[in-house]
Amino acid sequence: MRILITGGCGFIGSNLAIFLKEKIKNVKITSIDNLSRKGSQLNHKRLSRKGIKN
C-alpha cells in the first residue's frame, strides 16, 4: 500500500505518518510539505528516521 500525506511535516501530518507506519504492514508513506519553518524541518528529520520519505 502507498500513502501520500500533504502537510506531512506539520504536527498532525507527521504524527499521522508515524501512526500509519507503525500500524500498517508493508506501507510506503510519502509526505509533501513546505519546509521553510523550523518545526517542519525538525519533523522532517524525525520522519526520515522512521523510514518515511519526504
pLDDT at position 4 is 96
Q: Cα–Cα distance between 33 and 26 in angstroms, integer?
A: 23
Collapse the DSSP code of 53 into the 3-class scheme (helix H, G, I; strand E, B; otherwise coil) and give the result. strand
Q: Cα–Cα distance between 4 and 33 in angstroms, integer?
A: 11
pLDDT at position 30 is 93
pLDDT at position 22 is 94
DSSP annotation of 33: -
pLDDT at position 42 is 79
pLDDT tens readout for residues 1-54? 999 999 988 889 999 999 999 999 999 999 988 877 777 777 888 888 888 877
pLDDT at position 34 is 82
Task: Return the residue matching grid coordinates 500513502.
Answer: 3
Q: Cα–Cα distance between 54 and 46 in angstroms, integer?
A: 11
Q: How many CA atoms lie within 13 A of 16 on its CB side?
A: 14
